[in-house]
Amino acid sequence: QVQLVESGGGLVQPGGSLRLSCAASISIFSIDVMSWYRQAPGKEREWVASVETAGTPNYADSVKGRFTISRDNAENTVHLEINSLKREDTAVYYCKTIYLGWPYWGKGTLVTVSL
Protein backbone atom coordinates (compact mmCIF):
# COMPACT_ATOMS: atom_id res chain seq x y z
CA GLN A 1 0.00 0.00 0.00
CA VAL A 2 1.30 3.41 -0.99
CA GLN A 3 -0.10 6.71 0.19
CA LEU A 4 0.50 9.85 -1.80
CA VAL A 5 -0.33 13.22 -0.28
CA GLU A 6 -0.33 16.34 -2.42
CA SER A 7 0.04 19.87 -1.08
CA GLY A 8 0.76 23.39 -2.25
CA GLY A 9 -2.38 24.22 -4.20
CA GLY A 10 -4.28 27.44 -3.78
CA LEU A 11 -5.67 30.55 -5.40
CA VAL A 12 -3.21 32.43 -7.58
CA GLN A 13 -3.51 35.25 -10.10
CA PRO A 14 -2.76 34.72 -13.79
CA GLY A 15 0.97 34.90 -14.37
CA GLY A 16 1.73 33.71 -10.86
CA SER A 17 3.57 30.65 -9.65
CA LEU A 18 3.01 27.71 -7.35
CA ARG A 19 5.04 24.77 -6.12
CA LEU A 20 3.13 21.57 -5.61
CA SER A 21 4.51 18.70 -3.58
CA CYS A 22 3.67 15.02 -3.37
CA ALA A 23 4.84 13.10 -0.33
CA ALA A 24 4.97 9.30 -0.57
CA SER A 25 4.56 6.92 2.36
CA ILE A 26 7.31 4.65 1.06
CA SER A 27 10.77 5.10 -0.35
CA ILE A 28 10.51 6.25 -3.95
CA PHE A 29 14.14 5.45 -4.71
CA SER A 30 13.21 2.25 -6.50
CA ILE A 31 10.07 3.58 -8.18
CA ASP A 32 10.79 4.17 -11.84
CA VAL A 33 8.31 6.91 -12.63
CA MET A 34 6.42 9.47 -10.57
CA SER A 35 3.79 11.52 -12.35
CA TRP A 36 1.46 14.47 -12.05
CA TYR A 37 -1.98 14.58 -13.63
CA ARG A 38 -4.69 17.21 -13.50
CA GLN A 39 -8.43 17.35 -13.93
CA ALA A 40 -10.11 20.60 -14.84
CA PRO A 41 -13.81 21.19 -14.11
CA GLY A 42 -15.94 19.27 -16.60
CA LYS A 43 -12.94 17.64 -18.26
CA GLU A 44 -11.20 14.30 -18.14
CA ARG A 45 -8.08 13.77 -16.11
CA GLU A 46 -4.95 14.39 -18.17
CA TRP A 47 -1.29 13.61 -17.79
CA VAL A 48 0.90 16.65 -17.07
CA ALA A 49 4.42 15.48 -16.34
CA SER A 50 6.54 12.54 -15.23
CA VAL A 51 9.99 12.12 -13.77
CA GLU A 52 12.15 9.02 -13.89
CA THR A 53 14.35 7.70 -11.10
CA ALA A 54 17.46 9.54 -12.28
CA GLY A 55 15.50 12.74 -12.72
CA THR A 56 14.72 12.69 -16.45
CA PRO A 57 11.51 14.69 -16.96
CA ASN A 58 8.77 14.44 -19.55
CA TYR A 59 6.02 16.99 -20.12
CA ALA A 60 2.73 17.34 -21.90
CA ASP A 61 3.01 19.82 -24.75
CA SER A 62 0.52 22.12 -23.06
CA VAL A 63 2.83 22.74 -20.09
CA LYS A 64 6.30 22.58 -21.64
CA GLY A 65 8.39 25.59 -20.71
CA ARG A 66 6.15 26.55 -17.76
CA PHE A 67 6.12 23.45 -15.55
CA THR A 68 9.12 21.80 -13.94
CA ILE A 69 8.91 18.38 -12.29
CA SER A 70 11.55 17.13 -9.91
CA ARG A 71 11.97 14.40 -7.36
CA ASP A 72 13.83 14.13 -4.07
CA ASN A 73 14.42 10.44 -3.52
CA ALA A 74 15.91 11.04 -0.07
CA GLU A 75 12.76 12.87 1.05
CA ASN A 76 10.35 10.60 -0.88
CA THR A 77 8.86 13.69 -2.47
CA VAL A 78 8.02 14.85 -5.96
CA HIS A 79 7.55 18.50 -6.80
CA LEU A 80 5.83 20.36 -9.61
CA GLU A 81 6.87 23.96 -10.10
CA ILE A 82 4.23 25.84 -12.07
CA ASN A 83 5.07 29.23 -13.56
CA SER A 84 3.21 31.74 -15.75
CA LEU A 85 -0.07 30.29 -14.60
CA LYS A 86 -3.05 30.62 -16.92
CA ARG A 87 -6.75 30.37 -16.18
CA GLU A 88 -6.83 27.11 -18.08
CA ASP A 89 -4.40 25.62 -15.54
CA THR A 90 -7.22 25.66 -13.00
CA ALA A 91 -7.65 22.03 -11.96
CA VAL A 92 -7.18 19.48 -9.25
CA TYR A 93 -3.62 18.22 -9.51
CA TYR A 94 -2.97 14.59 -8.67
CA CYS A 95 0.20 12.65 -7.96
CA LYS A 96 0.39 9.12 -9.34
CA THR A 97 2.76 6.21 -9.29
CA ILE A 98 2.79 2.52 -10.09
CA TYR A 99 4.25 0.25 -7.43
CA LEU A 100 4.55 -3.51 -7.78
CA GLY A 101 2.18 -3.31 -10.72
CA TRP A 102 -0.54 -1.38 -8.98
CA PRO A 103 -1.45 2.27 -9.64
CA TYR A 104 -1.67 4.63 -6.69
CA TRP A 105 -3.18 8.11 -6.69
CA GLY A 106 -3.24 10.89 -4.20
CA LYS A 107 -6.42 12.77 -3.37
CA GLY A 108 -5.27 15.87 -5.19
CA THR A 109 -4.65 19.52 -4.50
CA LEU A 110 -6.73 22.28 -6.05
CA VAL A 111 -5.13 25.02 -8.09
CA THR A 112 -7.35 27.95 -8.97
CA VAL A 113 -6.09 30.65 -11.31
CA SER A 114 -8.20 33.76 -11.09
CA LEU A 115 -8.06 37.50 -10.49
- According to the model, what pLDDT value does residue 58 have? 97
- According to the model, what pLDDT value does residue 30 have? 83
Instruction: Give tens-digit pLDDT for 55-86.
Output: 899 999 999 999 999 999 999 999 999 999 99
Q: What is the mean pLDDT of residues 6-13?
A: 98
- According to the model, what pLDDT value does residue 54 have? 86
Q: What is the 3-state secondary structure (H, E, C) of the chain?
A: CCCEEEECCEEECCCCCEEEEEEECCCCCCCCEEEEEEECCCCCCEEEEEEECCCCEEECCCCCCCEEEEEECCCCEEEEEECCCCHHHCEEEEEEEEECCEEEECCCEEEEECC
Instruction: Give tens-digit pLDDT for 46-57.
Output: 999 999 988 899
CB hemisphere CA count around 36 (13 angstroms): 32
80 contacts 47 by C-beta, under 8 angstroms? no
Instruction: Give tens-digit pLDDT for 84-99.
Output: 999 999 999 999 999 9
pLDDT band at 27 (very low <50, low <70, confident <90, very high): very high
